[in-house]
């Protein structure tokens, strides 16, 4: 499948089958994250892979009791190791670096026939407590990974003319 087709077809999945994720597929997905570019190639991140059902349940509680988080057979928790570092442009480096790496995970997962959902609704302290993550680090997402139990419909997207300018900014 071509990358543009994966991008067009990918959906956020919020219902998962009770079916394990094959080890080789998980390895390829994590490799896609490893290959992601990062500022100065520092890769200041960790991905905590969680399969244990009890830990997944506790992480779902920390994620506002979102049941789909607990039902996914794998959770990938993205952790920024240098959350204080800021790029010259004023953005925290981890926001850019982990966005790229997590997008690689999302697209690689879809290519493997697996769904994901970038969750932003969670209590970082609860996630840190469950996984033993030191306070100095920042949890960026708790991302479910597994086979979709539903077929989410595509979201409407703005036309290019509304989001792209050429040569200078225009409103």
Query: Looking at the domain assignment, is residue 171 inside a domain?
Result: no
Query: What confidence score (pLDDT) does residue 47 get?
Result: 98
Query: What confidence score (pLDDT) does residue 1 get?
Result: 80
Query: What confidence score (pLDDT) does residue 67 get?
Result: 94
Cα dihedral value 104, 110, 115, 118, nearest 10: 30
- pLDDT under 70 in the chain at which residues? none
Query: What confidence score (pLDDT) does residue 153 get?
Result: 87
Query: What confidence score (pLDDT) does residue 155 get?
Result: 87
DSSP 8-state symbol, 87? -
Number of domains in the chain: 1
The phi, psi pair for 99, rounded to 5°, reads -60, -40
Query: Looking at the domain assignment, is residue 169 inside a domain?
Result: no
Query: What confidence score (pLDDT) does residue 154 get?
Result: 85
Query: Looking at the domain assignment, is residue 70 inside a domain?
Result: yes
Query: What confidence score (pLDDT) does residue 18 get?
Result: 96
Query: Looking at the domain assignment, is residue 24 inside a domain?
Result: yes
Query: Looking at the domain assignment, is residue 170 inside a domain?
Result: no
Query: What confidence score (pLDDT) does residue 63 get?
Result: 96
């Amino acid at each position: 499948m071509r990358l543009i087709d994966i991008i067009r077809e990918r959906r956020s999945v919020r219902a998962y089958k009770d079916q394990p994720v094959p080890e080789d597929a998980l390895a390829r997905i994590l490799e896609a994250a490893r290959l992601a570019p990062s500022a100065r190639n520092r890769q200041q991140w960790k991905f905590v892979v969680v399969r244990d059902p009890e830990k997944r349940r506790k992480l779902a509680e920390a994620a506002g009791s979102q049941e789909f988080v607990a039902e996914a057979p794998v959770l990938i928790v993205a952790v920024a190791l240098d959350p204080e570092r800021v790029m010259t442009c004023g953005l925290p480096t981890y926001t850019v670096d982990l966005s790229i790496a997590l997008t690689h995970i999302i697209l690689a997962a879809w290519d493997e026939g697996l769904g994901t959902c970038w969750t932003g609704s969670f209590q970082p302290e609860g996630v840190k407590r469950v996984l033993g993550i030191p306070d100095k680090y920042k949890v960026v997402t708790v991302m479910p990974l597994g086979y979709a139990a539903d077929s989410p419909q595509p979201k409407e997207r703005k036309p290019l003319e509304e989001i792209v300018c050429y040569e200078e900014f225009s409103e």
